[in-house]
Chains A and B, each alone.
Chain A
């Protein structure tokens, strides 16, 4: 398979350099852009596999870049945010970003996120969107019959838990914000729904516990949302 092509959008030269060097030493191809205008141009002309996008750009708000890209492409976008405030990450995720990294990040973290996203990308390309069965590690969901199994055992889920599991599975690898999830499940994002979500997610996890990879299956992003991780077979 070809080496994946990553588009780095970062206005700060030392960090752009750091990322480029890291990618180069780990067998990725990359192109780099220093502002939003170039980023959109590069994205359109090279059609990269993944975009690494810094939210604080000089010429345009990062979230605006995501919206523009999303209007014609579903390429995975990982946002890089320097602000410790969660709101900009949530805004970026709601606008269509797939994942986020907070500065300062370690090289390991960057590579881990890229791997997760690449797996998601490969799955997206391989999956038939109408595939009635979802398999991830020991978890299996049969959408047609509305049943979920863990290591072959059927799970007894409440309707809301099942809806949650399906929602996470369909967006496997992508960080889903609380707002997005509550709107999908209850149709509205009220405070009480967000609180309920915590409880349902905790009970759902408890039910998945028999699986050896349960702890890693659903990630909690405190203050932001949840994500189902694609479990690798090795």
Chain B
């Protein structure tokens, strides 16, 4: 046997689950086989129509077999279908299964296929697989049992359907007979009635009874001699027999059709929930969104109460409870804690219906991808354990969400690293540029102060005053630079560092204007505030810095004696500030680069003009961090217009 197929990560061994008592033996054997091949074990349960009628004992056994498989590390899967071997073969094909472990007498009930064993038929469907047959004598697998009790309501409605169909069929029969149609037409009417009864009633007994009664009625009412059970025609006994056989076959087919339809509908609904989950998960970005998708989908799917424990950095957080409609049982956080913690620590299911803390009210799934657990989801059980297919959908929805959480975490980590790298690069550039640019004013300050100390007495008053004012101006420039650097350091630490408060735009402009009053002595300032109060949510210190930088630029470039204008206005829900000067303006080819870090208009490396390009770059990153935008345009006939906008903030007045 060559199981080590090339190109495969590992061998996958499939074991079929059933409610049989010997199934445990098969599972153990499968586990040993999987271990021997160092492969993974997949435990598959095929949910057939008969599953719905399974007795409680069988269900319990099935569940314990499932738990066993899971405990041994098998991956649980459920497929739905009528034809068990076909479903197994299909699953094996799509899931790259290399070997199947199966109990020999492991046949599943079904009226029309008893001739061949499950294994034979499985081999016929999937001849390429390796089979491991585990002898399994003396035990019966679940045979569809009659449901112990049926509601009175069902019986009443079924009887009504039965009797009215019979009546209608017979009336039509009389009509046909009266019109002189042949017997065959009447037989067809009864067969039609049979079809209706088998589809509309809940139990096949009605169809059987119908088959017998319809033959009798036909015999009594429509064959000569009429109103006796005798029939003269020689062919009639054959007709009766064929009619009976047809009735029997039709009823069987109809009932299977019905069951399949019901099952497909259920499967389709589950599939749609899984798909919908997928769709919503692709939209959900944050952890909270993913958790809420999980809660939404699971409550929709199961109509059970849900509890989610999100985990952060390996520590379980507080539970979030999503009660289902009608579930009034309070959640016992303290009592359930053990199961939750066990599930989180061991990355496995725990709580109700499992072997670990089975006394709990809830069944817990650990949301994990490989070795990282993202939290625990609990599903209310309250004495009605979720069936196999519910569990399987649950597991797949939980799995999808875990993957989404993993993706979100990876994306976040990647983003963080990128931001970190970008910050690192910025910081290095900044340091280099700053140390270079600081030297120029420092040289001037040191030189001027030195001259004043050593030969101040010999200078005339005018020269001395010039040196003093040079020192003052250079120091002032350095101070502005330090303010910008401090703001920049707060910006590079990320958006979280912003100290957002609701501020009046005009207050912040006033503050900036006061700060620059000394530099603006030689310019006229004209302010046009908006007619109404414009509030923005902003880090006041940083916005003031933006206005200072823009004004400082205007002062630097506009000729002395010219006018600088500041307008505040409201436009499309945004607060706009315009600063206009009559300077030389900014050439079009420089407009795009003017906000780049370290870009300085004119000669970028020259020391003659101090204009370390940090000011405008800082303005841009501050405004962007506030969700606004900053632009530059021309002021006619010459000059520049800087305009920035911030989202307007509304306030509910507390009177």
- Judging by beta carbons under 8 Å apart, are A222 and B511 in contact? yes
Name A175-200 residues within 8 Å CB distance of B.
Answer: 178, 186, 191-196, 198-200
- Judging by beta carbons under 8 Å apart, are A222 and B503 in contact? yes
CA distance A202 to B531 in the complex (A): 12
- Judging by beta carbons under 8 Å apart, are B479 and A104 in contact? yes
- Judging by beta carbons under 8 Å apart, are B503 and A158 in contact? no
Cβ of A151 within 8 Å of any chain B Cβ, yes or no, is: no
Cβ of A71 within 8 Å of any chain B Cβ, yes or no, is: no
Cβ of B377 within 8 Å of any chain A Cβ, yes or no, is: no
Binds A, one of B47-55, B234-242, B533-541, B585-593: B533-541
Chain A interface residue count, CB cutoff 8 Å, equals: 24
B544: chain A residues at CB < 8 Å are: 222
- Judging by beta carbons under 8 Å apart, are A84 and B507 in contact? no
- Judging by beta carbons under 8 Å apart, are B503 and A160 in contact? no
- Judging by beta carbons under 8 Å apart, are B541 and A84 in contact? yes
- Judging by beta carbons under 8 Å apart, are A84 and B535 in contact? no
CA distance A199 to B507 in the complex (A): 11
CA distance A36 to B486 in the complex (A): 27
Beta-carbon nearest neighbor of B475 in chain A: A104
- Judging by beta carbons under 8 Å apart, are B507 and A222 in contact? yes
Closest beta carbon of chain A to B481's beta carbon, Å: 12
- Judging by beta carbons under 8 Å apart, are A222 and B508 in contact? yes
Binds A, one of B35-43, B259-267, B414-422, B646-654: B646-654
Cβ of A12 within 8 Å of any chain B Cβ, yes or no, is: no
Cβ of A220 within 8 Å of any chain B Cβ, yes or no, is: yes
Given A194-B502, A220-B507, A222-B508, 9 further pairs, Cβ under 8 A: A192-B651, A192-B654, A193-B654, A195-B651, A199-B653, A200-B653, A202-B504, A222-B507, A223-B541
A84 and B486 contact, Cβ closer than 8 Å, known pairs A186-B654, A192-B652: yes
B654: chain A residues at CB < 8 Å are: 186, 192-193, 196
Name A94-146 residues within 8 Å CB distance of B.
Answer: 104
Closest beta carbon of chain A to B255's beta carbon, Å: 66
The one of B475, B502, B510, B652 in contact with A198, judged by C-beta atoms closer than 8 angstroms, is B502
A159: chain B residues at CB < 8 Å are: 655
A223: chain B residues at CB < 8 Å are: 499, 501, 503, 540-541
Q: Can you list 10 A-B pairs with a CB-CB distance of less than 8 A? A: A84-B483, A87-B499, A160-B655, A191-B502, A195-B535, A196-B652, A199-B504, A199-B533, A202-B504, A220-B510
CA distance A194 to B510 in the complex (A): 19
Listed from nearest, the 7 A-B pairs whose CB atoms lie closest are A195-B502, A223-B540, A195-B651, A222-B511, A222-B540, A196-B654, A220-B507
Closest beta carbon of chain A to B547's beta carbon, Å: 11
CA distance A93 to B375 in the complex (A): 45
Cβ of A91 within 8 Å of any chain B Cβ, yes or no, is: no
- Judging by beta carbons under 8 Å apart, are A198 and B651 in contact? yes
B652: chain A residues at CB < 8 Å are: 192, 196
Cβ of A86 within 8 Å of any chain B Cβ, yes or no, is: yes
CA distance A158 to B654 in the complex (A): 12
**When each residue 492-519 of chain B gets 1 if its CB lies under 8 Å from chain A and 0 otherwise, what string results?**
0000000101111001101100000000
CA distance A86 to B486 in the complex (A): 13
- Judging by beta carbons under 8 Å apart, are B511 and A199 in contact? no
Beta-carbon nearest neighbor of B486 in chain A: A84
Name B574-630 residues within 8 Å CB distance of A.
Answer: none
